[in-house]
Structure 1
Amino acid sequence: MSVRAVRGAAGVAAFLLVAELVVRFWLAEGVVFPPPSLVLVEAALLLADPGFLAGVAATLLNWALGLLAAVAVAVPVGVALGALPAAERATRPLLEFMRPIPSVAIIPLAILLIPADVAMKASVIVYAAVWPVLINTLYGMREVDPLAKDSLRSFGFGPLAVLWRVSLPSAAPFVATGVRIAAGVALILAVSAELLAGGSSGIGVFVIQAGSGNRTDLMLAATLWAGAAGLVANTLLVAAERRLFRWHEARRGVAE
């Protein structure tokens, strides 16, 4: 186990210990809040709950569908805008207007316009996740070495060949970073859509049901697993980035 992992585990353990002491001995009288030990026990028990596991599967399905759709839309658009500066300048005002709109704010509108539950939640996730991928793709296209492109053109290669051989490989690490950021955003929106729109299953639906029964321990336990899913997704994507783009890490280290 690496030193970073040990330090991270020690930090989490220290936080849980302090939270346990605060809840049990210093929390104001009348404030009902479950101690971390109880939340952890309930979180472990949820792994044997078929209903909760089905909800996790439903949330992850919506998350995956929305994230894949966002990547499929944002990467080609980002590459096209990055390769065509005139088009990027023409669309920049629209992008800057739409990007700051809170994704959660469009959930009520999506509920009205899209009757299908999965399609509605996936569309909200797409809207939220498309921006990190699009902006990072644009940034990656801007960072392509112009000398490399000119060198390829000097050998008679056309625009498409330059795009395929130079621009896309150079922008790929930035696209991967955008996907990793979008994965976290997509998970947030997947749970938020369930909290606001409800449905038959999902982590957000489970939280609503637990809240209706005043089971704050179950609410926090379910939220803990949502955070764990995000942590696992981020860890896997970081590992994939480092494995696929070692050359980019090495070049950045030399530059720094």
Structure 2
Amino acid sequence: MTGARVLRGVAGAAGLVAVGELLIRFVMSDDVIFPAPSTILYEAALLLVDTEFLTGLGTTLTNWALGLLIAIGIAVPLGVLLGALPPVERAIRPVLEFMRPIPSVAIIPLAILLIPVDGLMKVSVIVYACMWPILINTLYGMHDVDPQAKESLRSFGFGPLAVLVRVSLPSAAPFVATGVRIAAGIALILAVSAELIAGGTAGVGVFVLQAGSGNRMDLMMAATFWAGMFGVFANLALLAGERRLFHWHRMRTGAQQS
């Protein structure tokens, strides 16, 4: 089933590339300057041996990974704490609901003013953006814990900490994993966006800016292509990890196996 889905996805992507190639070469006006997909893919292949691009990609991915890990380290314990203490959650929830919808990209100019260190500023923006999906999913996971399982453990004399470790955390873990997977995509968007807005010495966003200043739209799209491909690979890897580690959760919820 999984192999068939992959083949359908590859066929769909190939069809989209073919349609785009035909439209750009034979339908679009000559006044519209946009590289054909074949040109973008060719330049993307060349970028794999471009030292400047690879250095920038390494910088972007380092900020991505660091920001995501810090967000996990903050949001998961906070979500577990709030989920285990309903009165505290009810008191703090209005603040969370007020801050959560604020577009993370909108805080980049403020972060530039408040945090003078370039790398720290970009990581901080990523952390802020990634905290929300992880925190909210952790809270949902804590709310989804079977109350009968907790009561059964308490009836055998286990204390609150033992109930948390033995029942609540394992039950909430699939929700946390989903939050991390969602946050991974958000982290990549913010990593590149921060570079596009704040600039810097290296990064995929910086490379795109430099290519744009040289009127190299093909390079801009090729770098964007690799950013998107990394997002796809990261999502697939995290999704495979979820299915492997939490297959019991998919069976319990009746999720379709694929």
TM-score (norm 2): 0.97
Question: Match of 2:83?
Answer: 82
Q: Deviations over 1:53-85 (max 9, x none)?
A: 000000000000100000000000000000000
Gaps of at least 5 residues in structure 2 are: none
Question: Match of 1:73?
Answer: 74
Alignment of 1:119-138 (within 5 A): 119-138=120-139
Aligned equivalents of 1:9, 1:29: Cα separation in 2: 30
Question: Is the Cα contact below 8 Å between 2:250 and 2:256 reproduced in 1?
Answer: no
Question: Match of 1:232?
Answer: 233
Question: Match of 2:162?
Answer: 161
Q: CA deviation at 1:255?
A: 10
Aligned equivalents of 2:194, 2:37: Cα separation in 1: 27
Gaps of at least 5 residues in structure 1 are: none
Q: CA deviation at 1:254?
A: 7.7
Alignment of 1:175-190 (within 5 A): 175-190=176-191
Q: CA deviation at 1:119?
A: 0.6
Question: Is the Cα contact below 8 Å between 2:141 and 2:175 reproduced in 1?
Answer: yes
Q: Deviations over 1:231-252 (max 9, x none)?
A: 1100110011111111111212
Give the match's secondary structure for 2:31. Answer: coil
Aligned equivalents of 1:171, 1:246: Cα separation in 2: 14
Aligned equivalents of 1:184, 1:159: Cα separation in 2: 35
Q: CA deviation at 1:87?
A: 0.4
Give the match's secondary structure for 2:254. Answer: helix
Q: CA deviation at 1:29?
A: 3.0
Q: Which amino acid aligns with 1:9?
A: V
Aligned length: 256
Aligned equivalents of 1:62, 1:91: Cα separation in 2: 29
Give the match's secondary structure for 1:2. Answer: helix
Q: Which amino acid aligns with 2:46?
A: L
TM-score (norm 1): 0.98
Q: Deviations over 1:161-201 (max 9, x none)?
A: 10000000000000000000000000000000000000000
Alignment of 1:17-28 (within 5 A): 17-28=18-29
Q: CA deviation at 1:15?
A: 0.3
Classify 1:255/1:187 alpha carbon distance in 2 versus 1 (closer, same or farther; 3 Å): closer
Question: Match of 2:40?
Answer: 39
Aligned equivalents of 1:63, 1:13: Cα separation in 2: 29
Q: Which amino acid aligns with 1:86?
A: P
Q: Deviations over 1:17-54 (max 9, x none)?
A: 00000000111231100000000000000001001000
Classify 1:4/1:42 alpha carbon distance in 2 versus 1 (closer, same or farther; 3 Å): same
- State percent identity of aligned pairs: 70
Question: Match of 2:52?
Answer: 51
Question: Match of 1:198?
Answer: 199
Give the match's secondary structure for 2:57. Answer: helix
Classify 1:254/1:204 alpha carbon distance in 2 versus 1 (closer, same or farther; 3 Å): closer
Aligned equivalents of 1:250, 1:5: Cα separation in 2: 22
Q: CA deviation at 1:93?
A: 0.7
Q: CA deviation at 1:253?
A: 2.0
Question: Match of 1:107?
Answer: 108
